Chain A
Amino acid sequence: MIHLEFVDRSMSTQTSPVVCMHCEDPACARVCPADAIKQDEDGIVHSSLKPRCIGCSNCVLACPFGVPHYVAQIDQMMKCDMCFDRTSIGKKPMCATVCPSQALYYGRAEDIGRMRVEEPTRQFQFGNQAIRTKVRLMSAPATEQLDFDILSFMPESEEQIPDITELAIWGN
């Protein structure tokens, strides 16, 4: 259970994969009226238990990262459990195994700290609520500017753009 969306395709090809962050104090589990979401001793926040989940979607509303998904066909919430079936037998989660850019990485924080220029973060502030997670987010080191419009990369004096689009109107 991972969501992948364009942040805003009209602006950029930037996509944002959303996996469960496995909060130390998971809001989804705290708000569940049926106690259907369990956190294990390794800190993994599991998907809802079928016999308990009542499909109320409290967790969907409560999660600050927008992770849990209510699946109507089975009237149950489903979310990333860090591929418990795989990680419990020593494999990596599927998303991090197949991720072609390794934007999703599964391993020790020290290892990735050595390999990447980005810095890992696990502390998030949502308004007054501070959240610490098991999953870390890598954020880019100081970047002066990120341009999204292709026009920023084209010659300032490129007269041909308006000319050509004017022509496009004549052409019709």
Chain B
Amino acid sequence: MATPTLDETTLIGRYGPHLQYEPPGGWKEQPDATLVKTHCCFCGVQCGIQLKVHDNKVVGFEPWEEFPVNRGMLCPKGVKRYLQNEHPDRLLSPMVRTHHGFREATWDEALDRTVTAIRKIQSRYGRDAFAMLGGASMTNEKAYLIGKFARIALRTANLDYNGRLCMVSAGAANKMAFGVDRAANPWSDIPMSKAIIIAGANIGECFPILTDYVWRARDNGAKIIVIDPRMTPIARTADLFLPVRPGRDSALANGILHVMLKRGWIDNTFIESHTHGFEEMEKLVERYTPQRTEAITGVPASSIIRAAEIWGPAETSMLLHARGVEHHSKGVENVLSYINLVLATGRIGKPGSGYGTITGQGNGQGGREHGQRCNQLPGARDIENPEHRHFIADFWRIAESELPRSGLSSCEIFDAIEAGKIRGLLTISFNPLVSIPDANRTRAALEKLEFFGCIDFFLSETGRHADVVLAGSLQEEDEGTVTTGEGRCVRLQQSVTPPGNARVDWKILTDLAERLGCKDYFPYAIANDIFRELAASSKGGSADYSGMTYEKIEKNMGVFWPCPSYNHPGTPRLFEHGRFHHPDGKARFHAYDYRPPAEDVDQEYPLIFTTGRVVSQYLSGTQTRRIGPLVDQYPEPLCELHPLLAARLGVADGDMVRVQTRRGFIEVPAQIVRTIRPDTVFVPYHWPGRKSANLLTNRALDPISKIPEYKVCACRVERVAW
């Protein structure tokens, strides 16, 4: 049973999080330090950065002003990211759990134990009883390798990744609307837009350098519309702010489109020649009058009309959204409803006009293309498509019948552990105890596992439950590529080698594969061997990297896929001349009637609970909760509530409040702000244990994308008595 054998205080004492404030050797200048041009590890923008390296240690950074995307700009996470290296909490050796915590082990022992457990569980309960979970902060090379490892070495269908908690609703919707899953435009199109909708995207905190793109557009005369239940930094100076009630996005998009249709702000020629499904959509949005939309969404009818007036007749336009519209049990419906606004105007595939979901994780885009997902094969192929299955089976030199079929998604894997159907688990760079909704259930599930193996660089809260911990690599300790939120594949350089006995992640996987008797399928000496195979495997797939090489990526500071041949320059902008990626070349409208969130407010739980990020933290905080200056910037989760609500509840700023849902409660200080809807409270999700927002959230899944509903559930709030 995968249960920690030490109390939390002792575990924190040994493995952290401890706070690192200074680089190795202190602040003294290292004149012979070298600069390595690579990328930040936090978020899908993947800012270029130069890490300062001395004596095989990262000692600082320099901005990389020549990299065209961020031109030297960074957010606090990027500025302080160098402090994660040479960290006192770094795992330096494999470990196995004993009755008194962990003891160091040799690689042979740790790998043998892992393989013995895999074999035992699979022979007793079947191959699919052993699951694997990957991460979307890792390189394309690792994403590809994990997919291949799970299908060939583990031969399990149950492989998924933590991008399932991030942008899969957008991915699924992109495929349904456009036939391909990628942002349609490079970010360099944003400053050319005259109308920009930013829906559920806290750009100032989650993708900070994109603020500069939006503000350049504004300087060029663009009107900015921000849709969010909170007045985030980007909303503060927007031309129009629509404070949507959480969980009502599809209704709001329908309402805006209703006004556009009434006023004739649509491109009939484009709709006729390049789309399907308009009539059904038109019939649906007929019912979304401004008044009715106001009643559903909590956005004034006048603002809905104003949004249509800005968006409808604009010369160029860009729709940007992120998790705020995607983290819903109807996330796909929300995204598709917003995409209708783009298709109706025909403003896509042109300079300054288009659409993009902003990916949240370091390799949120690439991590979802190369077969690390339960329903996908390399090249963003579909695991249930017979043609795709045959192509990849042949490429891997296995029989198509040997290739596992579609498996369970991340949250479903935990449900299956709970139900006793999955008995063993291997994770890599995934901290589900902090990141999956309904954390009490996640913990209980971990404790039911017969074997839990964990590949990571720090001992995460989830890792404390592991039977075997395999010390892997930080981003700067390996090399490879990642694909940014605009579809640009960029190159990560190895700055330093893994410390102590730690190994690069992909080597750990090939070591395991060898012990599982599959050595011949994993003949890699360097990361580039994996990349070359990945690129070749993607040929003819939707995400085609086959014309990319490391040299070409470096020389061009990134290459946009599809890039189907060596002479091909890559494709920064998709859908030029109205050509979409469905077989018939046409895009699809989708008509979705609004439906309420899985758990709506009622008398018992009358307030809406929602979650998100702060600028100084990243995901489950495994890295950023160990970086001193970032922790100081926002040390612990606070519960944002409006003064009107606070007064009703008798809560003053800084009072401890208990936030309770049907799944659990947390107690955190109140932060009283006029920037949040009075019917909604917000707590950021980066923290574990008794302050974890995901003790409260609802594990209701979108039926298509299987994303959980982080952004809306019902809660009640009360002041904690002294």
Partners in one complex: yes
Q: Name A residues whose Cβ lies closer than 8 Å to a Cβ of B.
A: 9-15, 92, 94, 97-102, 115-117, 148-151, 153-156, 158, 160-161, 164-172
- Whether B606 and A167, one on each chain, are in contact in the complex, defined by CB atoms closer than 8 angstroms, is yes
A-side contacts of B603, CB under 8 Å: 167, 170-171
For the complex of A and B, 7 pairs with smallest distance between CB atoms = A167-B606, A100-B208, A101-B211, A165-B648, A171-B716, A149-B674, A100-B209
- Whether A165 and B300, one on each chain, are in contact in the complex, defined by CB atoms closer than 8 angstroms, is no
Closest to A13 in B: B233
CA distance A156 to B300 in the complex (A): 8
CA distance A4 to B211 in the complex (A): 17
Chain B 644-698 residues near chain A, CB threshold 8 A: 644-645, 648-649, 653, 671-679
A-side contacts of B72, CB under 8 Å: 92, 97-98
Task: State whether A169 and B231 are in contact (beta carbons under 8 Å apart), knowing that A98-B78, A155-B301, A164-B606 are contacts in the complex.
Answer: no
- 15 A-B residue pairs with Cβ-Cβ distance under 8 Å, sorted by A, are A9-B673, A10-B653, A10-B672, A11-B674, A13-B231, A98-B72, A149-B674, A150-B678, A153-B231, A165-B648, A165-B649, A167-B606, A168-B645, A168-B717, A171-B716
CA distance A14 to B233 in the complex (A): 7
Closest to B604 in A: A171
B-side contacts of A160, CB under 8 Å: 298, 679
**Known interface pairs A15-B233, A92-B72; 5 further A-B residue pairs with C-beta atoms within 8 A, sorted by A's residue number:** A100-B75, A150-B675, A154-B300, A165-B645, A170-B603
The residue among A13, A100, A169 with the most chain B CB atoms within 10 A of its own CB is A100
Q: Does B438 count as interface, using CB distance less than 8 angstroms?
A: no
- Whether B73 and A98, one on each chain, are in contact in the complex, defined by CB atoms closer than 8 angstroms, is yes
Chain B 206-226 residues near chain A, CB threshold 8 A: 208-209, 211-212, 215-216, 218-219
Closest to A156 in B: B300
Q: Name B residues whose Cβ lies closer than 8 Å to a Cβ of A.
A: 63, 65, 70, 72-75, 78-79, 204, 208-209, 211-212, 215-216, 218-219, 230-233, 235-236, 241-243, 294, 298-301, 303, 601, 603-607, 642-645, 648-649, 653, 671-679, 716-718
- Whether B243 and A100, one on each chain, are in contact in the complex, defined by CB atoms closer than 8 angstroms, is no
- Whether A101 and B212, one on each chain, are in contact in the complex, defined by CB atoms closer than 8 angstroms, is yes
Closest to B679 in A: A164
The residue among A11, A14, A160, A168 with the most chain B CB atoms within 10 A of its own CB is A168
- Whether B74 and A98, one on each chain, are in contact in the complex, defined by CB atoms closer than 8 angstroms, is yes
How many residue pairs between the two chains, A and B, have CB atoms under 8 Å in the bound complex? 130
A-side contacts of B211, CB under 8 Å: 100-101
- Whether A164 and B607, one on each chain, are in contact in the complex, defined by CB atoms closer than 8 angstroms, is yes
Closest to B65 in A: A97
Task: State whether A168 and B607 are in contact (beta carbons under 8 Å apart), knowing that A98-B79, A100-B209, A150-B231 are contacts in the complex.
Answer: yes
Our pick among A9, A117, A161 for the contact of B671 (Cβ within 8 Å) is A9
A-side contacts of B230, CB under 8 Å: 150
A138 CB, nearest partner CB in chain B, Å: 11
Task: State whether A168 and B716 are in contact (beta carbons under 8 Å apart), knowing that A97-B63, A99-B73 are contacts in the complex.
Answer: yes
B-side contacts of A161, CB under 8 Å: 644, 678-679
CA distance A12 to B230 in the complex (A): 10
- Whether A12 and B675, one on each chain, are in contact in the complex, defined by CB atoms closer than 8 angstroms, is yes
A-side contacts of B649, CB under 8 Å: 165, 168-169, 172
CA distance A14 to B179 in the complex (A): 40
- Whether B644 and A164, one on each chain, are in contact in the complex, defined by CB atoms closer than 8 angstroms, is no
Task: State whether A164 and B601 are in contact (beta carbons under 8 Å apart), knowing that A13-B236, A98-B73, A101-B215 are contacts in the complex.
Answer: yes
Task: State whether A171 and B674 are in contact (beta carbons under 8 Å apart), knowing that A97-B72, A117-B219, A165-B648 are contacts in the complex.
Answer: no
CA distance A151 to B242 in the complex (A): 11
Our pick among A9, A117, A153 for the contact of B303 (Cβ within 8 Å) is A153
CA distance A97 to B70 in the complex (A): 10
A-side contacts of B718, CB under 8 Å: 172
CA distance A100 to B236 in the complex (A): 16
A-side contacts of B673, CB under 8 Å: 9-11
A-side contacts of B643, CB under 8 Å: 10
B-side contacts of A92, CB under 8 Å: 72
B-side contacts of A151, CB under 8 Å: 642, 644, 674, 678
CA distance A72 to B400 in the complex (A): 70
- Whether A102 and B675, one on each chain, are in contact in the complex, defined by CB atoms closer than 8 angstroms, is no
- Whether B678 and A164, one on each chain, are in contact in the complex, defined by CB atoms closer than 8 angstroms, is yes
A-side contacts of B299, CB under 8 Å: 154-155
A-side contacts of B653, CB under 8 Å: 10
Closest to A155 in B: B300
A-side contacts of B236, CB under 8 Å: 12-14
A166 CB, nearest partner CB in chain B, Å: 7
B-side contacts of A154, CB under 8 Å: 243, 298-300, 677
CA distance A115 to B78 in the complex (A): 26
CA distance A118 to B641 in the complex (A): 33
CA distance A170 to B601 in the complex (A): 13
